Amino acid sequence: MSVYLLVLFLALLLHDGKAILESQGCNSADAERAAEEAVEQINRDKTDGYILALNRLYDLSHTSNQETGSSVYNLTIDVLETQCHTISRKPWKQCEVRGIGDIPVYGECQVSVQVDAQVKLESYSCALREVAATAVVHVCPDCPTADNLNEPVIKETAKLSLQKFNKESRLANYFTLENITKASSQWVIGPAYFVEFTVLETVCSKETDVSELAHCPPMNCQFVSRISVT
């Protein structure tokens, strides 16, 4: 990614997750409502990853149905990834957008919604990508940069972090690793590694002997606890 795009991304962050409405027709209250509610419904549909925040609505077309009073909006919107995992189910306006030191992710969504008394998401397609590490380092040389989730050192970091989570947790049962969702590294005195991951509650008490933990399956029920750990 060019430095120009990174500067543009940083400029987008300054809007604190508020929608910027551009081009003719995008500045209507209905268009803003459609875009904001569309992102809310996209986040509710997501089962993994992180909640997205609406940053900019920059293309719009719509058709009206005179008989029903409804309209269909086709929107192109910029989104920014927040620090809230989809597990949290928080509204996107309550989530902080990832900064330059938090492996920032940006993208574009093509959205179709029907608007009348309510906004109904008809379809969507989003393309997301991380800001390139070289671009991040150019602007912030000391910031952490993304690492491969499959690197042995990342897996070991997640293992140690999971042990710490279970030790400090006040929950009754042992939790096992589900997915590593983010990984980054930073040179301080030496290399430092950071991970974000999700965990699942198992059938085993947290007092279970260490030698038996490998045989602790996740709970198989509708209300099993699933937690995002940072």
pLDDT in tens, the chain (230 residues): 444 455 455 555 544 544 444 443 556 777 888 899 999 999 999 999 999 999 988 777 878 776 677 788 899 999 999 999 999 999 999 999 999 989 999 999 999 998 888 899 999 999 999 998 888 888 889 999 999 999 999 999 999 999 999 999 999 999 999 999 999 998 888 889 999 999 999 999 988 888 888 889 998 876 778 888 88
183 bridge partner residues = 195
Say what the pLDDT of residue 210 is: 85
Are 206 and 172 a contacting pair, CB within 8 Å?
A: yes
**Residue 150 per-residue DSSP state:** T
Quick one: tokens of 45? 């549909």
Say what the pLDDT of residue 17 is: 45
Report the SS3 class of residue 144.
coil
Confidence (pTM): 0.84
Are 17 and 39 a contacting pair, CB within 8 Å?
A: no
Say what the pLDDT of residue 21 is: 42
Burial class (CB in 10 A: 0-12, 13-18, 19+), 105: buried
Say what the pLDDT of residue 201 is: 94
**30 CB neighbour count, 10 Å cutoff:** 14
